[in-house]
Structure 1
Amino acid sequence: MSPPASKRNSGNGITTIDKLDYPPNSPRRPLLAPDSDTDSQRRSQDTSYAGSFFEQVAEGIYEQDRVKMQRAVLRWLSFVWAIVICLCAGSITAFSLYGHLFQSKLHYTQVQVNIVSIGAELGLYLLVPVFGYLCDRMGPGVPAGLAGLLFGSGYLLAAFAFRSGPPPSAGGHGWPHGVMVLAFAFVGMGTSCMYLAAVTTCAKNFGRGNAKGVALAVPIAAFGLSGMWQSQVGSRLLYIRNPDGSKGDVDVFRFFLFLGILLLCVGAIGFFALRIMDEEEMIDDAVDELERSGLLQRDDFFTQAASHHGYGTMEAQNLSDSTFDFLQSEAERLKAKAEEEARKKTWLLNEETRRYIMDPTMWWLAGGFFLVTGPGEAFINNLGTIIETLTPAHVSTNTSPATHVSIVAITSTLARLITGTLSDVLAPVAPSNQHRVGPDSVANSTSSLPPLEQPRKRFTVSRITFLLAFAFILSLGQLLLASGWVQNHPSRFAVVSAFIGAGYGAVFSLTPIVVSVVWGVENFGTNWGILAMTPAAGATLWGAVYATVYQRAAENGEAGVEKDPEDVLCHGKACYASTFWAMTISVWIAMGLFLWAWRGPGGWKRRGVAV
């Protein structure tokens, strides 16, 4: 059908057009005409709005998946490097490998040797809250790098202090005894700083899932293994040749150089490798849950707005609708104005710290941890001198400190892995955010109602049951040593090392898991850091007790044996028996405190905390 005729003016006349005449190259065409070859080469988004939309959706999904995969890879890389860090950071547990050489080579007394170990313990534990604070506020990379510097300076200082020879107080010309104490204080600080950086990384990246026990047990177990492999490197590779060509003691100077360089490099890499993934989401969820839980009566921003406009003393229900709406809008304005993410994180962590410190059960747990870790630390630090006491001075022992350091490390590692895994499998399932259920929350109000469907009960074992069992195993090892069962039978000492290593390792694995379950992982670095201060006091106390008893027995000497005036070593049951009887009782008291925090008035069982 032809287009209708039209008319148009042309100059002075009217020209009649019977038919519209289109030029052959006109861009107009019938609606259903096929595309030319040139047109068919155009991109789909030029010809289809629907195609453009779906391609954008697909690209968005692809980008989200790429970011999600990148975060997962970074999370696992951080986990792997955290394990590597823990495999190196526990070098202080090899102290028994060279502790007795401080006596024989530098002529330190047992009290002076214990002062060195106590300096390491104080550095190890007293600043843990500071390092935990750094982990929570600045991320784990900064503490890891700082730990590398502390390790490097500490071990290098100790290496040259040992090489200088006996100090002036012992009649030599070497560096003063205080230099060695300072060096090991640096080593202790580096140990706790690096350990906390690694464990906090694992706790925050994996602690909100169902495998929090394994996520914490693996790096903690790796920390226990570090002393074993490092002591073997020292005794089998970095040793001194005796005049007859046989293998002698560890070359302390080269061993300290090896540890200093290794840990400096590990910390430097950790500065870049340790990252917390999705921390903003975790903080937002925690803040929202605190507001819903009843622990916060009103939104903190709302309170700030009310105070600013003069309504701070009025309850929300007494305000008019217009005033209430105005204050709500002001609260939203304050939220937008502030640097919300940073402020919210600081506010949450401060609130979590306050609630943690005000919880009485934390102090019962801390008291038990103090009483059980002190004896374990004292045994590990003095293992080398204990072995020397088991036989008379003229009889050589058939065992070495390196062997028993390895036994302690292996049993400690196995206990950490076993308890971490079993606690995930057998422990009662903890509801999400159970540590934030307040007295006015909906969850607390409905908790007494019977469930619609009775869930099928499964066999469960509380983490506290595991904690009590392994604390008793630790006390059993101390009891065997105190009773004299090992005296003149050095081969039996392996049983003592195994029992104490297993108990000590399990307690150090289960306690941070309990902290993460009862008080959450958002403020884990600070919470665990506060609790981890207690072993410093325990190790100092029991180290001093052991040194005093040992020194007194060494001065009295063995009955019927003439003592060399320059001999500072002690031999016989009197060197240690009374100390380990007291340690055994200390651990039993700790078990009572754990039980009280769990089932006592206001304990976790009464509060409905599934631990």
Structure 2
Amino acid sequence: MTLFRGTLACVAIALNAVCAGGIFTFPLMSPILASHLKLTQPQLTTIVLAGMMSQYTVASGVGKVIDVYGPALCSLIAAVLFAAGFGGFSAQIYFSPDDPTASDSIAMFRWLTFSFLLAGLGTVFAYFSSLFAASRIFPRHIGIASGASMALFGLSPLFLSVIASNWFTERTTETLDVTRFSAFLSLSTFLVYISGAFSLYINATPTSNEGLESAAESQDYRDASEETTPLLSNQKPPIHQQQTLLAVLQTSDFWLLALVCVVTLGASEMVISNIGTIVVSLPPYTIENIGDSSAQSFTARQVKLLSLSNTFSRISVGLLADFISPAASSLPTGLQVFPRRHRITRITFLSISSLILAWTFWWTSTYVLTRDDIWVLSVGTGIGYSAVFTVLPSITSSIWGMKNLGRNFGVLMYAPFVGNPIFSYLYAFISESHASEGSICQGRVCWQTTFNVAVLTCILSLLITFILGGRWKHCL
């Protein structure tokens, strides 16, 4: 690959990753939608869940598209979905009446939900195009390439929220212009992913020489592994070597791990989706800052903190896990080789995540009194949430082997698909029960019960990780 082609590919991968998180800026929009379109908290929750959950429903199908047609087609599909989703979102708000009736609000709610569902589908196509293009174009540095792509995706909400704050927020009132911002997202993502499709089509298709080179490297690996296999003493088979999905689903280990994901990822995504209305429910620290403008700036700050802590956790946990709990490499015989001595098992990182989230939710329920205190919730959620995602693929491959890693990991991704709506609607309906008609819920009563439930479930998750740690201590 020439220097120009390599640079073009890196730029396309980076832009595809960093522009993919538009749906995660919904907390900046939700207070405006509630006040101007008279949408209720359950309606706001449904809109954001349409975007968040649609990603998981098609993940396995998008992976198949990547395998068969490559990342360029995924980038092209993302361009169309983002343009339609964010464009429809902007148009619906632009043509909404100044004083909507109840029937107007219901009609707008349905169209906004559909638009955000399209944007959510675009997100998974965009993310996969970046991640797997990086893996294909830089096969000799797959760890660094995929890790950098995931880190940039984690920074996407921060990048887009900075744009929203600096160019689409009124200086006098500090109110986000949701119509213009969502229109910007529609146009900019369309251009980014159309150009990305062209660049990735050129660069992610291996030439014949590259294919021969890859095959030769694979043969060298097989030869080397066969020569060294008898000399390796740290070989262990996966404890579940069944390759059929039914066999995997019949193991209690799989369901225990899935339950951990339901709790940790579901509760975290509830916070990510609703941080805007959580901020609005609380008063500022000083009386001079009371007003919607203060709420808007505080919400933007929380989105940035979530993004930064998410990215920091992905990088630091990944590096730390590789150092003190190296993942196994699979040999052609099916055995797994551990390159270095284990100091702790990777399941420990799931235990730490559960503990961090339990403490964060307990702190929020007990000590958060003003908007200035919310930063603890944002940082703790970002760290706990991303740490689970960082170690989950390697845990899955170590327990069930590499052959069907994508399938097994994809099935586990239905866990947040279940957990997110459970926790989000729990929050939404409790908040709605304490809200005055036509207004957003005010006070800690809006979410205190939800976080108390989240604390108990995270403690349950922690106990499950202890059980799994005991079962898996010899293979992780």
Q: Pick the TM interval, shorter chain.
A: 0.7 to 0.9
- Superposed CA offset, 1:189-238 (max 9, x none): 111121123223345666887x73x4443222211211012111112211
Instruction: Please give the secondary structure, in 1, of the residue aligned with 2:435.
Output: helix
- Superposed CA offset, 1:88-143 (max 9, x none): 10111111011111101111111111111121123122111211222223222222
Map of 1:311 onto structure 2: none
Matches within 5 A, 1:68-147: 78=9, 81-147=12-78
Asked if the contact 1:105/1:165 (under 8 Å) is kept, the reply is no
**In 1: Cα distance, 2:83 partner to 2:305 partner:** 27
Matches within 5 A, 1:165-184: 165=96, 169-170=101-102, 172=104, 176-184=108-116
Matches within 5 A, 1:541-580: 541-555=422-436, 565-566=437-438, 568-580=439-451
Pairing 1:391–2:283 present: yes
Unaligned residue ranges in structure 1 (runs of 5+): 1-68, 294-350, 438-442, 448-454, 556-564
Pairing 1:422–2:353 present: no
Asked if the contact 2:37/2:105 (under 8 Å) is kept, the reply is no
**In 1: Cα distance, 2:8 partner to 2:395 partner:** 26
Matched to 1:149, the amino acid is: V
- Using structure 2 for the length normalisation, give the TM-score: 0.81
Distance 1:140 1:173, change over 3 A: closer
Distance 1:552 1:430, change over 3 A: same
Matches within 5 A, 1:248-397: 248-274=174-200, 275=204, 361-391=253-283, 395-396=290-291
**In 2: Cα distance, 1:266 partner to 1:226 partner:** 14
Pairing 1:510–2:391 present: yes
Higher relative contact order (CA 8 A, sep 6+): 2
- Superposed CA offset, 1:297-350 (max 9, x none): xxxxxxxxxxxxxxxxxxxxxxxxxxxxxxxxxxxxxxxxxxxxxxxxxxxxxx
Deviation at residue 516 of structure 1 after TM alignment: 5.2
Map of 2:360 onto structure 1: 477
How many pairs are equivalent? 444
Matches within 5 A, 1:94-243: 94-165=25-96, 169-170=101-102, 172=104, 176-203=108-135, 212=143, 214-240=144-170
Asked if the contact 2:305/2:379 (under 8 Å) is kept, the reply is yes
Distance 1:381 1:73, change over 3 A: same
Map of 2:233 onto structure 1: none
Asked if the contact 1:201/1:276 (under 8 Å) is kept, the reply is no
Matches within 5 A, 1:532-611: 532-555=413-436, 565-566=437-438, 568-600=439-471, 603=472, 605-606=473-474, 608=475, 611=476
Asked if the contact 1:125/1:534 (under 8 Å) is kept, the reply is no
Unaligned residue ranges in structure 2 (runs of 5+): 227-242
**In 2: Cα distance, 1:360 partner to 1:285 partner:** 35
**In 2: Cα distance, 1:518 partner to 1:79 partner:** 33
Asked if the contact 1:86/1:222 (under 8 Å) is kept, the reply is yes
Matched to 1:574, the amino acid is: V
**In 1: Cα distance, 2:347 partner to 2:444 partner:** 34
Distance 1:597 1:136, change over 3 A: farther
Asked if the contact 1:477/1:500 (under 8 Å) is kept, the reply is yes
Distance 1:547 1:226, change over 3 A: same
Asked if the contact 2:326/2:339 (under 8 Å) is kept, the reply is no
Map of 1:324 onto structure 2: none
Deviation at residue 82 of structure 1 after TM alignment: 2.7
- Superposed CA offset, 1:224-263 (max 9, x none): 211012111112211235xxxx143111111111111121
**In 1: Cα distance, 2:133 partner to 2:399 partner:** 19
Distance 1:527 1:199, change over 3 A: farther
Distance 1:370 1:204, change over 3 A: farther
| Pair member with larger Rg | 1
Map of 2:410 onto structure 1: 529
Asked if the contact 1:129/1:526 (under 8 Å) is kept, the reply is yes
Instruction: Please give the secondary structure, in 2, of the residue aligned with 1:101.
Output: helix
Asked if the contact 1:224/1:409 (under 8 Å) is kept, the reply is yes
- Using structure 1 for the length normalisation, give the TM-score: 0.65
Asked if the contact 1:132/1:529 (under 8 Å) is kept, the reply is no
More helix by share: 2
Map of 2:382 onto structure 1: 501
Asked if the contact 1:203/1:524 (under 8 Å) is kept, the reply is no
Superposition RMSD in Å: 3.7
Identity of aligned residues (%): 25
Distance 1:231 1:403, change over 3 A: same
